[in-house]
Amino acid sequence: MISSEKHINIETNTNLLSSNNSNIWELILDDSYKIVDLSHSFIKSFDLDNYSISEIEIKLKNNFLKSFINALSNKKEIFKAKLFSGNQYYKFFLNEIYHEDRIFYRILSYKQSEENIYKSIFESFHDVYYRTNLNGEILLVSPSVFERAGYNPEELIGSNVINFYRKIKDHKELLRMLKEYGEINNFETEFMKADGSICSVALYAHYVKDDDGNKIGIEGVLRDITEQKNNEESIKRYIQELYETKDTMEQNAFELVKLNLQLEDSENKLQELNANKDKFFSIISHDLRNPFSSLLGYAEMLYVEFEEMSKVELKEGIEIIFKSAKSAYELLTGLLEWSRVQSGRIEFKPENFSVNSLIDELIALNNLITSKKKITVANNIYNNINVFADKQMISTTIRNLLGNALKFTPRNGSINITADINNNSAIICIEDSGVGIKPNDLEKLFRIDIHYTTNGTSNEKGTGLGLILCKDLIEKNNGKIWVESEFGKGSKFFISIPLYIDAGVS
């Protein structure tokens, strides 16, 4: 009989199995595609109490595991599969997790209505998300359609998607492929914008099904690849000219190299967008859902067992609900702020301001935390250094770095803030006497494709987005951010900011 207890712990002291929600099925597979654990709800839903894990693997082999491996090889975050010998298809969400230098795969399935939790996040989606009924009438479209194609999203509701295809035959081909394969990846076609111009798009789409497996609509994501296609066409034209005009071969070769560099740059940007999308869906399917699961679980327990619970038990439940809601809010706030930076919707407003004064303001904002943990924070910037940068962005960056220093510094510790001048830049250093960072973790800190977060010395929670946001904001100000750390002794975080040319040091 399979135990429904969770038994594997990762570094953050949470479980690989992430949900107690009875409406969510969850499986954990290792890098050999072997089942490591199953959620209690999955076991109960399919009467598997009397089966061993190896017996369940045999039952899943023909249908589910084949679909999972296919999704993994095609880098799909969403896939559909049958379970056991039934005819009903289920929608699954797939993401990678890391434990002790190994990759594990968390696979979840839940009711369609739960996706409404993430509606506010999709409003900041960079590509265009849409959903139609089976007749092609648009039911939902992300606000990004205005920036990408010039359409007001509200005016598109009820319109038929076929009206936006440049070639109707492409829409017919898409429906044919959907009918044959169930979903489509990177289907290239052309759409008409509101101003009448044409854009090239790569389209991902699949059927939406109800709880009984009946097809009720189609949903998908459109990515504008016009620039990439234009570069490809330009390269084709120049290659042809090289063959036709031998006298200008050297000049055309030079132009070809330039265009290849442009194409490489375009592909790199596309890869970066894909990495952002992967991070986006990883946070949606894992990090954001965890606090909601705790919040809903304990709220339900309070609702059902309120009369039988003692005051101590009630206080513990309310505290967990508060912490879960706070964690979800902080993660959602960070995610939306990061999304605004990625989509270029934060206006850059550089100005002349004093670093010393800004540091004093930020230290004062953290007086409550420093008093609680008895940490000494010293502003040792003796010169009046003025910089020319976006003050709000720099304030957000230093506030994040100071917050991290407070989080990872134990009681009675110290934080020292200094600044120096190097050429035309101010170098600000925030040094703490905290726990430090392991050498193999340093390279993970600023990477968007690796989710890295640890608890503070008082078990403070993090979102894993703070340092990534800091890096983006500093780079927008033509600066740099880096770190030096010795595990067990503390860390030094540095940022460089352009000096105010007429001020310098007084």
Query: 297 with 21: CB under 8 angstroms?
Result: yes
- Listed in sequence order, the residues at least 6 apart from 502 whose beta carbon sits closer than 8 Å to its beta carbon are none
Q: What is the pLDDT of residue 427?
A: 94
The per-residue pLDDT for range 386-435, each reduced to its tens digit, is: 999 988 888 888 988 988 898 889 889 999 999 999 888 999 999 999 88
Query: 64 with 91: CB under 8 angstroms?
Result: no
| HSE of 74, CA atoms in CB hemisphere, 13 A | 15
Of 51-55, 212-216, 337-341, the one with minimum mean pLDDT is: 337-341
Long-range contacts of 264-267 (CB under 8 A, 24+ apart): 266/227, 266/228, 266/231, 267/228
CATH architecture of 116-224: 2-Layer Sandwich (3.30)
CA distance 190 to 314: 58
The per-residue pLDDT for range 282-320, each reduced to its tens digit, is: 555 445 565 666 677 778 888 888 888 888 888 888 887
For residue 228, is pLDDT > 80?
Answer: yes
Helix 466-476 × helix 311-342 angle, to 10°: 30
Long-range contacts of 97-103 (CB under 8 A, 24+ apart): 97/10, 97/16, 97/286, 98/10, 99/8, 99/10, 99/11, 99/16, 102/30, 102/31, 103/30, 103/31
For residue 450, is pLDDT > 70?
Answer: no
Q: What residue ranges of the chain are covered by domains with CATH 3.30.450.20?
A: 25-110, 116-224
Mean pLDDT of 445-470: 64
Share of the chain above pLDDT 90, in %: 22
Q: What is the token pair recorded at 291?
A: 């606090």
Pick the CATH number of 25-110 from 3.30.450.20, 3.40.50.2020, 3.10.150.10, 3.40.50.1100: 3.30.450.20
CA distance 76 to 220: 13
Beta-bridge mates of residue 377: 415
Q: What is the pLDDT of residue 240?
A: 77
Q: What is the pLDDT of residue 120?
A: 39
CA distance 185 to 200: 15
pLDDT band at 234 (very low <50, low <70, confident <90, very high): confident
For residue 124, is pLDDT > 70?
Answer: no
CATH (residue range 346-498) = 3.30.565.10
Q: What is the pLDDT of residue 159?
A: 92
For residue 339, is pLDDT > 70?
Answer: no
The per-residue pLDDT for range 246-284, each reduced to its tens digit, is: 666 666 667 777 777 887 877 776 776 666 555 555 555
pLDDT band at 110 (very low <50, low <70, confident <90, very high): low
Q: What is the pLDDT of residue 89?
A: 72
Higher pLDDT, 334 or 366: 366
For residue 137, is pLDDT > 90?
Answer: yes
Q: What is the DSSP letter of 110?
A: -
pTM: 0.40
| Amino acid found at 45 | S
Helix ranges restricted to H, 283-354:
289-305, 311-342
Beta-bridge mates of residue 102: 99
pLDDT band at 95 (very low <50, low <70, confident <90, very high): low
Q: What residue ranges of the chain are covered by domains with CATH 3.30.565.10?
A: 346-498
The per-residue pLDDT for range 173-190, each reduced to its tens digit, is: 999 999 999 888 889 999
Q: What is the pLDDT of residue 505?
A: 44
